Amino acid sequence: MPHPPSPAALTTDPRAGTHPGTAALARLRPLLAEIGDAKRVRVAGADGSLAEQAFARGWARLVEGEDPAVVALSETAAAVARARLAGIDAAVLAGAGLAPDDAAAVLRRGFDEVAGVLDGALRDRLRDALPLVRTPAVPAPLLVPRLIAQPRAGATAPGVARIMVEPPESHGDHCLTVAVYGVLVAPVFGADPVPPFLVGMAHHLHNVLLPDAGFAGEVLLGDHLDTVIGTLEARELAVLPAGLAGRLRTVLALRADAVAPESRAFHTADVLDRVLQVHHHARAAAFTAGQALDDLELVHAGPVQAFHHEVLAAAGLAS
């Protein structure tokens, strides 16, 4: 559940365009949108979207006891590279016969193509962490498949019918994306990138059991909302390794306001993902064949391009 910041925590009105990170967030937004598209990309031989696969791997790495900083930076680096390489990762490249150094070079090219908008110091840390993505020896905790199976409610408001969009994103999609965004926006606020990543991964633990009815449902729960969320969240934390659970309890407190830099990074990531998701559905609904043919060059340059255009013209399909 998003926890809105107290009015005192906001020094400026973001709607007025005077937020101190306005320029940085505007530069980041196109890349964030591309990274968010991993919610909608799938590959043969693996269940779920690329974002859901990364969500499961990240949780498994954390449960196995890997350093959360290494997990946060390497999974974020992989998400940046995925913006253009999609499902082409180190394992795919190795299976296709590339040597490790050659595979790493391909991944870095994908990363470099889009990473120019990132904070320089963070970009260097992420680039160095890109080869550190690994498949852990332990399975993801049970909370992972349940959050992946739990659909997001989308936009809801008290007293009105919800807007239904298909397909709905999963909580795994959302949590992984918020975690990655939290790392990428951390420099805007001078924040340590690791806590926003962890909060992003864990901020919907209550939805392992609680179906998502959105803001409208939260309002109807009324005074019971905090009890319901607290009880269900505590239940999930109790079955995690003690060290990880303790760390998560600490960082999840960052949701309460937008005062600390890490709190601001998390809330920024959360609201950007929610709104970019709505923008995705709006773009998809308005997509035209002309955009595919003209803007995206569906009939792309090559030795038979002229013939393809002739075929489309003859069939009445030219743009």
Query: Model confidence over 119-128: pLDDT tens digits?
Result: 999 999 999 9
Min mean pLDDT across 36-50, 149-163, 215-229 is at 149-163
CB atoms within 10 A of CB 132: 16
Q: What is the Cα–Cα distance from 211 to 176, expressed in whole angstroms? A: 19
User: CA separation (Å) from 154 to 124, 167, 218, 255, 296?
Assistant: 35, 11, 13, 20, 29
Residue 8's pLDDT band (cuts 50, 70, 90): very low
Tens of pLDDT, residues 22-33? 899 999 999 999
The residue ranking higher by pLDDT, 156 or 109, is 109
Q: Between residues 290 and 42, which one has the greater pLDDT? A: 42
Arithmetic mean of pLDDT, 101-121: 97
For the CA atoms of 215, 216, 219, 221, the dihedral, rounded to the nearest 10 degrees, stands at -100
pLDDT for 296: 67
Read off the pLDDT of each residue in 138-157 and give the average, rounded to a whole number.
93
Please enumerate, as own/partner, the contacts of 37-41 that have beta carbons within 8 Å and a separation of 24 or more: 37/83, 37/280, 38/79, 38/82, 38/83, 38/86, 38/176, 38/177, 39/169, 39/170, 39/173, 39/174, 39/177, 39/277, 40/280, 41/82, 41/86, 41/87
Per-residue confidence (pLDDT) for residue 110, from 0 to 100: 98
Tell me the whole-structure pTM to 2 decimals: 0.86
